[in-house]
Amino acid sequence: MINLSILANVSHLNYILNKSKQQAKGIREMEETNPYLGQAIIEGVREQMAIDDPPEVNETYDRLIFDGHPEEEVLKMLACVLSTEMFEILKHKRVFDRQLYIRRLRDLPKLPWE
């Protein structure tokens, strides 16, 4: 099961809920509005990679790096998938959907809202 303790470390998640229409603009929009939020989500991705849970995060990272994407871009793409899942958990009051999260990882570099 994914470690969602990173949610507790992101004190500005209300921003995501209040700006749901802007979600489709991705992590870049969040960084411009709140640089700490984007970095916190990237740290969540790094934590997932460190504990290899889910392993598909590392698999996706390796695939995108192999395909020639710069590391910073890869981390932002992974953060977009994580932030989308976090947003949907909060907005729809649902549990983590591991299969949907993995599918979105496998769809990268196509972003969840494309």
| Residue entry with tokens 């020639």 | 68
Q: Tokens in use for 14?
A: 């209300």
Residue 38, domain member (yes or no): yes
Domain assignment present for residue 113? The answer is: no
Per-residue pLDDT tens over the stretch 55-110: 999 999 999 999 999 999 999 999 999 999 999 999 999 999 999 999 999 999 99
Q: Which residue has the higher pLDDT, 85 or 36?
A: 85
What angle do the packed helices 71-92 and 26-33 form, to 10 degrees? 80
Which structural domain, as residue segments, surrounds residue 20?
6-107
Give the residue-averaged pLDDT of 42-47. 95
| Count of the separate structural domains present in the chain | 1
Does residue 14 belong to any structural domain of this protein? yes
In a domain, 64, yes or no: yes
| pLDDT the model gives residue 67 | 96
- In a domain? residue 31: yes
Q: How far apart are the first and last CA of the chain?
A: 27
47 within domain boundaries = yes
| pLDDT at position 114 | 82
Inside any domain, residue 112: no
Question: Distance (Å, rounded) from C-alpha 1 to C-alpha 4?
Answer: 9
Q: What is the pTM of this model?
A: 0.72
114 assigned to some structural domain = no
